[in-house]
Structure 1
Amino acid sequence: MNFEEKYNIMKIGGKILGEILKILSHEAKEGVNLKKLNNLAEELIYSYGAEPAFKGYRAPFAAKEYPYTLCASLNEIIVHGYPEENIYLKPGDVLKLDLGLKYQDYFLDSAITIFVEEAKEEVIYLIDITKKALKEVLRIIKPGIRTGDIGWKIESTIEDAGLSVIKDFCGHDIGEFLHGDLQIFNFGDPGQGKLIKEGMFFTLEPMASLGSGEIEKIDDYVFKTKDNSISSHFEVTLVVKENGAEVLTPII
Structure 2
Amino acid sequence: MKINRNDECWCGSGKKYKKCHMEFDEKYEFMKKNGCLMPNRNLIKNAKQIEMIRKSAEINNGVLDLVGEKICEGMSTEDIDKLVYDYTVEHGAIPAPLNYQGFPKSVCTSINDEVCHGIPDKNIILKEGDIINVDVSTIKDGYFSDASRMYIIGKTSEEAEKLVRVARECLKKGVEAIKPWGFLGDIGEAVEKHARENGYSVVRDFGGHGVGLKFHEDPFVAHVGKAGEGMVLVPGMIFTVEPMINEGGFEVFVDADNDWTALTEDGSLSAQWEHTVLVTDTGIEILAW
Q: TM-score range by the shorter chain?
A: over 0.9
The higher-RCO structure (CA 8 Å, 6+ apart) is: 1
CA distance in 2, matches of 1:34, 1:138: 29
Please give the per-residue CA displacement for 1:213-245, whole angstroms capped at 9, x wherever unaligned.
Answer: 211111311110011111001111111001211
In 2, distance between residues paired with 1:117 and 1:91?
A: 5
Partner of residue 244, structure 1:
283
Q: TM-score, normalised by structure 1?
A: 0.94
Matches within 5 A, 1:119-134: 119-134=156-171
Tell me the equivalent position of 1:113: 150
Q: Which residue of 2 aligns with 1:229?
A: 268
Aligned-partner residue type, residue 248 of structure 1: L
Q: What residue is the counterpart of 2:132 in the other structure?
A: 95
Partner of 2:37: none
**Which of 60, 77, 90 is the equivalent residue of 1:47?**
90
Larger mean Cα displacement after TM superposition, 209-218 or 169-178: 209-218
CA distance in 1, matches of 2:204, 2:196: 12
Q: Give the letter aligned to residue 228 of structure 2.
A: G
Identity %: 30
Runs of 4+ off more than 4 Å: none
CA contact (8 A) 2:59 2:138 kept: no
Is 1:86 aligned to 2:129, yes or no?
no
Distance 1:137 1:215 in 2: 22
Residues 100-154 of structure 1, C-alpha deviations (whole Å, 9 max, x = no match): 0101111111111111011111111111111111112222212111111111111
What's 1:61 paired with? none
> Residue in 2 aligned with 1:10?
53
| Runs of at least 5 residues in structure 1 that lack an aligned partner in the other structure | 59-64
In structure 1, the residue matched to 2:74 is 31
Mark the structure with the bigger radius of gyration.
2
Distance in 1 of aligned mates of 2:240 and 2:278: 9
2:231 equivalent among 194, 197, 200: 194
CA contact (8 A) 1:140 1:244 kept: no
Deviations, residues 134-183 of structure 1 (Å, cap 9, x unaligned): 11222221211111111111111111111111111111001111001310
Could you tell me which amino acid in structure 2 is paired with residue 123 of structure 1?
Answer: A
> Are the counterparts in 1 of residues 133 and 151 from structure 2 also a CA contact under 8 Å?
yes
For residues 72-115 of structure 1, give each alpha carbon's deviation from its aligned partner in whole angstroms, at most 9, with x where no partner exists: 01110110001001111100011110010101111111111111
Length-normalised TM-score, structure 2: 0.82
- Is 1:162 aligned to 2:205, yes or no? no
Alpha-carbon separation, structure 1, partners of 2:77 and 2:187: 33
Conserved 8 A contact 1:142-1:198: no
Distance in 2, matches of 1:26 and 1:227, equals 32
Q: Counterpart amino acid of 1:222?
A: T
SS in 2 for 1:158: helix
Give the secondary-structure state (helix, strand or coil) at the position aligned to 1:181: strand
Q: 1:152 aligns with which of 189, 195, 198?
A: 189
- 1:62 aligns with none
Aligned-pair distance for 1:16?
A: 1.4
**SS of alignment partner, residue 232 of structure 2:** coil
Q: Secondary structure at the match of 2:217?
A: coil
| Superposition CA RMSD, Å | 1.1
Deviations 1:16-42 (A, max 9, x none): 111111111222201111111101100
Give the Cα separation in 1 of the matches to 2:232 and 2:207: 16
- Structure 2 unaligned runs (5+)? 1-11, 14-45
